[in-house]
Amino acid sequence: MIKANNTKLKSWIEIPENSDFPIQNIPFGIVSFKNAEPRPATRIGDYAIDLSALSDYGYFDDLPIEDFSPFYQPILNDFIEMPLKLRRTIRDKISDLFNHDCPDIRDNEDQKKLIIIPIQECKTHLPVFIPNYTDFYSSREHATNVGKMFRDPENALLPNWLHIPVGYHGRSSSIVVSGAQIHRPKGQILEKNKSTPILAPCKLLDFELEMAFITSSNTKLGEPIPLEKTHNKIFGLVLFNDLSARDIQKWEYQPLGPFLSKSFGSVISPWIVTLDALENFRISQPKPEKKLLPYLKFKEKNNYDITLEVYLKAKGKKKTKISTSNSKYLYWSIHQQLAHQTINGCNISVGDIYASGTISGPTPNSYGSMLELSWMGTKKINIGNGETRTFIKDNDEIILRAYAKNSNVRIGFGESRVKILAAKES
């Protein structure tokens, strides 16, 4: 059992009911506050915990840490590159310090003022420098729905899909953190009954409900990562909204796949939830429908039971939930995705992001994109307040939320939130 996961632990920090961030979570992110520079932090309830301040006061001095500089960096790359055993020890130490019966910080008002910051006073930042980004296509339900819309409904999946975690290399530079505002993209669009494309703002703007994992190791070119060792190479998970321009995508994606339709902005949640925190939510993945090649065969629980929610908020209106899905629907697990990414010898880097692809469930209210919810624009989506949508309009906000919950504890991810602005004038 991982010590910090003990469901009986209680914190002396007041934690709201159904908070995403109980003491059993201890996620990691980058925050700034007042005039301070961005620095590593964790979060308990509605408070950020400054890891650099914990280090300043010597709370990590009894741990086997040779280099304390990762606690002072404006990105988490050096921190997440620490060995898993050491990161686990640090997480356990934080858990001990904020356990209800530990007086060290609880009874020291001067230290509390510098270590604990109300979350409303903090600005969250992109938690890692992202060297590379891969987007997979791992939800059978989503791939089937798209195949039905654009190909033969009787043969929705392409022949390779049940044999291989399909993916493509995306644009890491356009990944931003929750709270971003992104302009509607422009691109080439082939209008109906036309033979020549035009350059125009996207009309069919969409979200994609995804999870993403972040790698914690550098590997050498030519070294695959066996499936059974992928757990040690993954630091944790974030929510991932892969914004998509469907009309631009439809024209450009053949034969090489998405390009401008995906690279204008993807939005992650700011707190990375560790795989350790999610250990009690590991479940079996869907049974493979085809015999898998040995490097993709799994022998243990490789999926996670995480509830996923999508809200849409029109300008000046209240947000409305438009979809509820779950990461358990992933046909290809994050561990299979990483094993496949590296089977050809592709090297990985600390801070790489690997997104799952849209995660759709088996029912219409669990679809993970507006393309599916509106069935390619043929059905109106009720967003409350007497309004409907088929795709995203200017000034709409898309909010993704996620949490894993059982009878003992709830481990959440916070939000991935983005507002869509009008296309920029040329």
Report, as residue numbers or ranges, the catalytic residues. 142
Bridge partner residues of 3 (DSSP): none
CA gap 174, 145 in Å, rounded: 27
Query: Which among 175, 334, 402, 404 has a CA at the least distance from the CA of 268?
Result: 175
3-state secondary structure (DSSP) of residue 97: helix
Q: CA 30, CA 417: separation in Å to the nearest integer? A: 17
Beta bridge partners of 238: 212
**Whole-number Cα distances in Å, 247 to 203, 251, 261:** 7, 7, 8
**What span, in angstroms and rounded, lies between the C-alpha atoms of 13 and 254?**
54
3-state secondary structure of 75: coil
* Nearest-angstrom CA–CA distance, 311 and 385: 14
Q: 183 - beta bridge partners?
A: 421
What's the rounded Cα separation, in Å, for the pair 301 and 285? Answer: 7
Let me know if 275 is exposed, middle or buried by CB neighbors in 10 A (0-12, 13-18, 19+).
buried
- Of 68, 60, 23, 59, the closest CA to residue 43 belongs to 23
Token couple for 200: 């125009």
Residue 403 and residue 18: Cα distance in Å, rounded?
10
What angle is formed at CA 363 by the lines to CA 360 and CA 366, rounded to 5 degrees?
A: 45
Contacts of 220 (CB under 8 A, 6+ apart): 347
